[in-house]
Amino acid sequence: MKTPISLLCACLPLLAWAAPYTPKDGGAVIEQLPRRADATQLELRALRQQLNTTPQDLALASGLAQRYIALARSETDPRYLGYAQAALAPWWRQAAPPVPVRLLRATILQSTHHFGPALQDLDAVIAQQPQNGQAWLTRATVLTVQGDYTQATASCARLSALTTQLVTVTCLANIASVTGRAASSERLLELTLQRSAGAAPDLESWAATLLAEMATRRGESALAEARYTRALAQQPRDSYLLGAYADFLLDRQRPQEVVKLLKEQQRIDALLLRYALALQALPGQQPAFLAAKAELAARFNAAMQRGDTVHQREQARFALFVQQDVPAALQLAQKNWAIQKEVPDMRILLEAALAARNYSAAQPVLAWITANGVEDVALQRLVRQLGPQDGAKISAAKKAGVL
């Protein structure tokens, strides 16, 4: 059974709109828009015009919104999420909209880290359609980000009768990789991917990206890079994949490659951050670095004024490594940890706690590593740098396998 593109769009987090940009002069190029003659854009404009005429056409609105959500990922362009929401405008604020709208609304809410409302919508969809595979997969994604691994695993398990084996195994491996079962889940996912010849490029890229992250966490750099290369061959503009590979390169002191990778991808805040970090590490790039730094500061300040918490992880990283504002970085990392608990969230909190010499701030992450058996060489190095501060910390670190 082929997996719908809308299902795959829910597999990895989408990024929210960037803050408004004010050009310095009237001749500045703000954006290279898609060619008006582009077949996809022509088709979307025709559908949008049709929807303007019949805005209550549920099938047309939901189909168009789904197309926009898919483009938000394939084109690394978060503006399409806004277009998707606009297409669903007649139903967006309804307490109980039709199932297609509710599912699409959950996907958009998940992308902007409104996890509670997203889960409410997903649970309502599942109550009406317990065989809805996309709802189960999106639910698993949200719960994994929140660190509710038991419920996330249960959601993944429901997929076995609803979609392909590769979707199910990738969903489960994503959880197992951070709950003490990394080696076995990696072997199973790799074998499943090998047996899934002809899988959709989106799905193959998702599985290959996860396998690359698993190898990275084990310190297998050559294997990880081969897997990142495979994933990029399938989805060269995927924003999550680009960010993960850029981090891989930055950790290996290869900033020039990051600049090349992200030179045309600076619309996304998370990718602009990695671009700035690469420029910071390169000689002769001070003007470009300062420009990127100023742009990021403006975007993050605008997000804070809007009450937008989507990029707190990235903002904490920006404060720590670009602005060298350790107190702000620690505060942002702690706020981010309260919302989401993925490996990068663990890492930035440990890094900020280490820089602040605030060892008590690291305790929630150390406890989480211990309780869930998280395996990651970068986290292990940070825990060793933090050093044992008391008996409880020594015991926790030993149980986590990092001392």
Q: Per-residue pLDDT tens for 179-221?
A: 999 999 999 999 999 999 889 998 999 999 999 999 999 999 9
> Looking at residue 175, what is its pLDDT?
97
Across 9-13, 20-24, 88-92, 240-244, least confident range: 9-13
* Residue predicted with more confidence, 397 or 270: 270
How far, in Å, are 8, 90, 139, 160, 204 from residue 121 at the CA level?
Answer: 18, 17, 10, 22, 28
- Look up residue 342 and give its DSSP letter: -
> Looking at residue 31, what is its pLDDT?
46
pTM of the model: 0.85
Q: Is the pLDDT of residue 27 over 90?
A: no
Asked if 390 and 382 count as a contact pair (C-beta separation under 8 A), the reply is no
Give, rounded to a whole angstrom, the gap between the first and last alpha carbons of the chain. Answer: 46
| pLDDT confidence band for 169 (50 / 70 / 90) | very high
Q: Which residues contact 293 (CB under 8 A, 6 or more apart)?
A: 276, 322, 323
- Quote the percentage of the chain above a pLDDT of 70: 86
C-alpha span between 259 and 100 (Å, rounded): 40
| pLDDT confidence band for 102 (50 / 70 / 90) | very high
Q: Which residues contact 113 (CB under 8 A, 6 or more apart)?
A: 16, 309, 310, 339, 340
Q: Is the pLDDT of residue 14 over 90?
A: no
Q: Is the pLDDT of residue 13 over 90?
A: no
Q: Is the pLDDT of residue 35 over 70?
A: no
> Looking at residue 76, what is its pLDDT?
61
Domain boundaries, the chain: 1-17+39-145, 253-310, 315-403
> Looking at residue 187, what is its pLDDT?
97
CATH class of 1-17+39-145: mainly alpha
> Looking at residue 19, what is its pLDDT?
40
C-alpha span between 208 and 170 (Å, rounded): 9
Asked if 217 and 182 count as a contact pair (C-beta separation under 8 A), the reply is yes
Over the chain, what is the mean pLDDT? 88
Mean pLDDT of 23-52: 70
Alpha helix segments (H runs only) across 33-181: 39-53, 58-74, 79-87, 89-92, 99-111, 115-128, 133-146, 149-157, 165-176
pLDDT in tens, 111-146: 888 999 999 999 999 999 999 999 999 999 999 999
pLDDT in tens, 40-99: 889 999 999 999 999 999 999 999 999 999 888 767 677 888 899 999 999 999 999 999
Asked if 121 and 104 count as a contact pair (C-beta separation under 8 A), the reply is no
- Quote the percentage of the chain above a pLDDT of 90: 76
> Looking at residue 288, what is its pLDDT?
97
Q: Is the pLDDT of residue 20 over 50?
A: no
What would the two tokens of residue 181 be? 């079962």
Mean pLDDT of 313-318: 97
